[in-house]
Amino acid sequence: MTAYPLNLIRGRPVPLLQRAHVAWALALYFLVAGSLLAWECNRAVHQVLNVHRRGLDIAARHTAFLQAHPGVVDVETYTAGRRRQLGEQGAALAAISRVLARQRPVSELITGLLAPLSADVRLQNLDLNLAAGTVRFDLAVPLDVVSGKADSATLLAAWQRHPALQRWVTGLHEVSNEEGSVAGVAVFVIRFEGTVSCLEG
């Protein structure tokens, strides 16, 4: 049996309604694609403009900075110099802190020695030798108060209770005593000495 290829719908016109649907679909496709393309172009333009504005702003700031800092070649050199200066200042502050850490106990020791003294007792000839770790001083006590609260035993007991002296001074004791005068006033001079065990803050 011989087969004959036949196309029965060849030349058959597409119905109007179907053509309308295809046309609307193509129009909608182009509308959506065009909208997306326009949106992307708009966003790209805004990004380019923002980059351009930031570039102008950076250039203006750089110019203003150089005008405000004559002699500076550029911001990077200035920043490196300031960073180096900050490092040096930090090292200096650390050194000052170490010095203050050693000076703070000195002031507290003196305050502790003065704490139990009455107004008429004078602390004099204070020798605080940090290198040797020793402390020596004299008390000038008016003769009329020696037998009262300014005697050596009372003072030593008060010093031993003081927190700063407890922490940094050991072996505080009377070395000698003798009569003398200060500004024409008869006094009893009592000499003390002890060991400064630690002056770390």
pLDDT tens digit sequence for 163-199: 888 888 889 999 998 888 877 778 888 999 999 875 5
Residues in the chain, how many?
Answer: 201
What is the rounded CA–CA span in Å between residue 3 and residue 152?
141
pTM of the predicted model as reported, rounded to 2 decimal places:
0.47
What is the rounded CA–CA span in Å between residue 133 and residue 197?
7
Please state the separation of Cα 15 from the chain's center in Å. Answer: 84
- Average per-residue pLDDT for the chain: 79
Task: Indicate the domain borders of the chain.
Answer: 104-196
Mean pLDDT computed over 147-173 = 82
Q: Which pair of structure tokens corresponds to residue 133?
A: 């770790």
The torsion angles phi and psi of 123, rounded to 5 degrees, stand at -90, 125
* 13-55 tens-digit pLDDT: 667 777 777 788 888 888 888 888 888 888 888 888 888 888 8
Are 196 and 169 in contact by the 8 Å Cβ rule? The answer is: yes
CATH number of this structure's domain 104-196: 3.30.1360
